Structure 1
Amino acid sequence: MKNILLLIGFVVVVAVTQAQFPKKILDKAKEKVDKKIDNATKGKEDKNNKEAKDTIDTPVTNTNQPASFKTYSKYDFIPGEKVIGFEDFSTGIIGDFPTGWNTDASAEIVTIEGKPGRWLWLTKRGIFTPEFPGPFPEDFTFEFDLLHGIPINGANFTVAIAELSNIDQPQYWANASNQFTVELSTANTGTEAGITRFLGRKKASSDVQNVSDAPNLNDKNNPVHISIWRQKERVRVYVNEQKIWDIPKASAKDAQFNSIVFSVVYAEEVVKHFIGNLRLAVGAPDTRNKMLTQKKWVTHGILFDVNSDKIKPESYGTLKEMANVLTEYSDLKVKIIGHTDADGNDDSNLDLSKRRAAAVKATLAKEFNVDESRMETDGKGESEPIDKNDTPAGKANNRRVEFIKQ
């Protein structure tokens, strides 16, 4: 059975070709791109200077404001317990296609003016897939950041989770026996609009429903954070802080998903797509049981800004999970311990881990009214790794917060 889950942002869903856009719109968009985007390959004539030169001045304006914990008050997403796939493009070369990826098109690693980290610029229409280890278990989460350059009505962007019969041929993902897809399409109006959600099954009727309070994907919210959570048949999808779907029967029971495929129907000069901070994690969280029986809960779901103790708001679901346990068991006391990867020097990492643990304690007290006297903190820096420090996924596993029952 083919299971298809479509998330459509804004107004329309169409297969786009250049002929469908009025020439006036195309010319105007191209002119805007030419004025605001530097050529990301301009440093290629001097490879030694790539890091300094290949920066895109993105047409996305820097009007996005930092999200607050208050806006995430209904966010219940909790990442899987072990990271098995992670990609922030930090190990690749600016201007090159990343290793560990497959495509029938082209893309390159870039930095973007005003946006932290590195991004993969999908420069041609086609499919792009990270070669994360599969098959994925029945419980997993997948997250990534998506940044649109110039949004054009109908320029759809799709991410598919599929069970491929041949993982070396991801271009045939649409024919996979089991799949679900999340499709985003932005409009050029700059106005608030709804998201339509569509759940279809092969040889079955369709269910279409409008979501009036769906997030706006215009510049002020760029980039957007997409989170997908599969628990057996159940699939939940989040865009930023909003849960767009929670569908009990979106996935086949026996589906053995093994591939993540990004599909771009229109790219190049009219619309720009950038993806970053990909994270695939497996295992269902079981906070209550582990705190009470194993006396320890290790989470990779509390995220921080790079080299900072500032907690990202998408950590809300994980923090709330711990707060619920502490609220339910009023005599429970915990020690919060921060851990880092091995990047940087030992002293800086030790200090950072201690500050991060203290930030978790402060947030649990402020946002969830947990008595501070029930929490103590410490940090171990990079001294107690649980995974290798020579791969992005291993480093992601080592960056963690532990709650120890006292």
Structure 2
Amino acid sequence: MKQVTILITILGITLSSHAQILKKIQRKVESKVEKSVDELMNEKKEERNKSEADISGTASPKTTGTFDILTNAEPFTAGHVLLFEDSLDYDTPGRMARYWQTNSTGTVVEISGAPGKWLKLANQASYQLDTLLHLPQKFTLEFDLLTRANEAKDIRSIDFGFSKNNSTRKYIYGVANETNVYTSLQYYYETINTTSNNNQNSSRIEFPLSNYANAIMHVSMSIDGSRMQVYVDEHKVLDATVLDPRAPKHFFVSTENYRNNAQVFISNLRISGF
């Protein structure tokens, strides 16, 4: 009888030990499963965030130039007194925009998937406002650029800035003496360069321009005397003394020779004072 009792006791201890071992194994398996699920969810979240960044066409720039990019800098603040606005709403598609002039050609178009009307910019062409608009010492200027390209580098580059006259009888080169200051969107090299012909100040930064094929880019400029700030979407890409306050300032945009049937459009120009 004692032997039977001992056997039953040993069997109970053995079963209890096996049960504990099984519970430990189960906990380890569950822990690994939970960890795998968490890792998978984190990977999916990272992929989704990356995808959303790609779709939005924006990403943080890198600092490599003369002036630092202030990622946490003050946001762009537009002037509150409207001086000029042109969204091309009253222009006829197929014609040149009424408030613009060029050394080449231009056509107002409507684009599927992009609200409003747009001025299509030709190859190797310069564009200015067809009006002698007096700009004060302090003002802001905003516009939208829309691109259509297989790759952003097919756009080559787009220059914009201020020239000392309002003539588009010939192509406006940024490096020309007639140019006050210009910013160059170098899609091919993924950099944004700004050069002043007043004080030879210059800036070069890396920026993910490859994200802007088939995308809308909002450009904002803030001018206060000799100082100019430039924003691409919400990113400040320039904050420097580059202007001569005494020199005339006439806004211009110049394109380069596109590749592989790339196209560039501009709209929603707005100039405001304070």
Shorter-normalised TM range: 0.5 to 0.7
**Residue 252 (1) aligns with residue 244 (2):** yes
Mapping of residues 3-402 of structure 1, within 5 Å: 64-65=55-56, 74=73, 76-150=75-149, 151-153=152-154, 155-164=156-165, 167-169=166-168, 171=170, 173-174=172-173, 175-177=176-178, 179-187=180-188, 195-201=191-197, 204=200, 207-211=202-206, 214-219=207-212, 222-247=215-240, 249-257=241-249, 259-267=250-258, 270-283=261-274
Q: Note the residue ranges of structure 2 that are not aligned, 5 or more in a row.
A: 1-53, 59-70
Q: Distance in 1 between matches of 2:168 and 2:214?
A: 34
How much does 1:74 deviate? Answer: 4.7
Instruction: Classify the secondary structure of the residue corresponding to 1:171.
Output: coil
Q: What value does the CA root-mean-square deviation take over the aligned residues?
A: 3.0
How much does 1:105 deviate? Answer: 0.8
Q: Following TM superposition, where does structure 1 have runs of at least 4 consecutive aligned residues deviating by more than 6 angstroms?
A: none
How much does 1:198 deviate? Answer: 4.3
State whether residues 155 and 271 of structure 1, in contact with CA within 8 Å, keep that contact through their aligned partners in structure 2: no
State whether residues 183 and 192 of structure 2, in contact with CA within 8 Å, keep that contact through their aligned partners in structure 1: no
**Bigger CA radius of gyration:** 2
Alignment CA distance shift 1:132-1:217 (3 Å): farther
Q: Distance in 2 between matches of 1:210 and 1:117?
A: 32
C-alpha distance after superposition, 1:86-116 (max 9, x if no partner): 1111101111111122111111111111111
Q: Distance in 1 between matches of 2:116 and 2:224?
A: 30
Alignment CA distance shift 1:220-1:107 (3 Å): closer
Name whichever structure is richer in strand by fraction: 2
Q: Distance in 2 between matches of 1:66 and 1:154?
A: 15
How much does 1:207 deviate? Answer: 4.7
Q: Distance in 1 between matches of 2:171 and 2:125?
A: 11
Q: Distance in 2 between matches of 1:66 and 1:124?
A: 23
Q: Percent identity?
A: 20
C-alpha distance after superposition, 1:206-248 (max 9, x if no partner): 655434xx3444247810100111000110000001000110x
Q: Distance in 1 between matches of 2:155 and 2:214?
A: 19
Q: Distance in 1 between matches of 2:74 and 2:104?
A: 35
- Give the alignment's TM-score, normalised by structure 2: 0.65
Q: Which one is further off, 218-227 or 232-241?
A: 218-227
Which is bigger in relative contact order (C-alpha 8 A, separation at least 6)?
A: 2
Instruction: Classify the secondary structure of the residue corresponding to 2:170.
Output: helix
State whether residues 123 and 268 of structure 1, in contact with CA within 8 Å, keep that contact through their aligned partners in structure 2: no
State whether residues 217 and 224 of structure 1, in contact with CA within 8 Å, keep that contact through their aligned partners in structure 2: no
How much does 1:169 deviate? Answer: 4.3
The one-letter amino acid paired with 2:217 is V
Q: Distance in 1 between matches of 2:180 and 2:100?
A: 20
C-alpha distance after superposition, 1:310-367 (max 9, x if no partner): xxxxxxxxxxxxxxxxxxxxxxxxxxxxxxxxxxxxxxxxxxxxxxxxxxxxxxxxxx
C-alpha distance after superposition, 1:27-80 (max 9, x if no partner): xxxxxxxxxxxxxxxxxxxxxxxxxxxxxxxxxxxx73499xxxx975521112
- Partner residue in 2 for 1:350: none
